[in-house]
Amino acid sequence: MRLLVVEDDKDLNRQIVTALENAGYAVDKAFDGEEGLYLGETEPYDAVILDLGLPKVDGVTVLQGWRRAEKTMPVLILTARDRWSDKVSGFDAGADDYVVKPFHIEELLARVRALLRRAAGHATSELTCGPVRLDTRASRVVVDGNPVKLTSHEYRLLAYLMHHQGRVVSRTELVEHLYDQDFDRDSNTIEVFVGRLRKKLGVEIIETVRGLGYIAAAPAKV
Ligand code: CA
């Protein structure tokens, strides 16, 4: 899952980005509305954290710009305390959720998880695919009750496929959603990660769809 954080307060931006990266997401960052607007229009994010008080272009205008460009990713806005009218204009502009500053980072993480799973049509923070269970709160994976240790890239790959299970996901889409902007992207590495992931999971839940990509699906019961 790839996220964008638009926040002009450098310390807060870094805090949020670090927490999200530690939680297993690929994260891009912007420090003003102009940069944020551009990134949100040109890059495919799974969710965005958007401060409303931003230099150059304010957050509500940024959000309106994205929605006008038919960008439908979930957006969580950061608002100042006691600015109820900000929340109203934020929701009217197309926000999906909000957090009031100052906030606990755990609350922000929980809201991001909720946005991501709702966007993908899941009801809980635990995703299941056959014998594989993925706990998005703890970033942990269990197969038949046994914990499996994955690297952050393997985890991201599995989480993305499981959020979108039953749908074919192309290698290009995976590259776009697993790596942040600054990462040296190479779609060949996806194949390597899929190979390692299959080996570690020890069960066949990731199928290769020749020429199209990969699909996560529960193995058929024999
Ligand atoms: Ca601000």
Range(s) for CATH 1.10.10.10 in the chain? Answer: 126-216
Structure confidence at residue 198 (pLDDT)? 96
Q: What is the CATH number of domain 2-120?
A: 3.40.50.2300
What are 90-140's pLDDT values in tens digits? 999 999 999 999 999 999 999 999 999 999 888 888 999 999 999 999 999
Ligand 1 centroid to residue 51 C-alpha, Å = 6
Range(s) for CATH 3.40.50.2300 in the chain? Answer: 2-120
Structure confidence at residue 182 (pLDDT)? 81
| Pairing assessment for the beta strands 140-143 and 75-79 based on DSSP bridges | unpaired
Ligand 1 centroid to residue 9 C-alpha, Å = 6
H or E element: which one contains 109? Answer: helix 105-119
- Into which CATH architecture does domain 126-216 fall? Orthogonal Bundle (1.10)
Instruction: Give me the phi and psi of 171, to 5 degrees please.
Output: -65, -40
Ligand 1 centroid to residue 8 C-alpha, Å = 5
